[in-house]
Every structure is written in C-alpha cells, then in structure tokens.
Amino acid sequence: MRTQEVQPDISYYIGDNTNIIPRGTSVVGLDIYPSPDLVIEIANTSLADDKGEKRLIYEDLKVKEYWVVDVKNVDIIAFTVVNNGSKRIRESQILPGLVISV
C-alpha cells in the first residue's frame, strides 16, 4: 500500500457497512475497519492530485466508489474501483439509480 493515512473530505459506509464504525469515532483505523464504500474529494485547487495520486490511493484501499467534485468547472467526476484500477462512471454502482450529474 502507498500510504498509512488518508483524509478524504467526505466518506460513507453504505449497506451492510452502514453501522460498522462506532458513533463518535473521529479517526477510522483501516487496519481494524474496512475502507469506506464511497469517498468524495472536493477539488478547488487540488483537482490534478485528486484525479491522479489520490485516486491511486483509493484504488489501493479498495474503496468501491470515488467521486471528485470539481468546484471550478462545476462537475462531478466519479469512478468505480474494479480489478485493481478504476473506471469512470455516470451512474453510481453502490447507490443504484443515482445518476451522477450537477
């Protein structure tokens, strides 16, 4: 793995993992708990890093979906993590029926 720590802007556990993290937990140890199902980064000045290096980190962590909110271009760039990589999506795979658009 590339890193020991990440600090996404927003992260969610969905479905079976919804209540896996005890309430009041501020730091989630990924050596104890699974990776979040959905990670969202808000990119204003960090767009290149969020689409590049951070995406690779979340692929390694096996996050199911990774979204980048591009503040300057008013866009959402969403990826599903599959086969040790990621591919761009227009509809959420973990929230069926949710079209990802602004």
Render pLDDT for 90-102 as a digit per residue (tens, 0 to 9). 999 999 999 998 7
Segment 43-71, tens digit of pLDDT: 999 999 999 999 999 999 999 999 999 99
Beta bridge partners of 67: 40, 78
Cβ atoms of 17 and 10 within 8 Å: the answer is: no
Segment 18-27, tens digit of pLDDT: 888 888 888 8
Q: Pick from 43, 36, 42: which is nearest to 14 by CA? A: 36
Q: What is the pLDDT of residue 102?
A: 78
Q: Which two tokens stand for residue 14?
A: 């969905």
pTM: 0.88
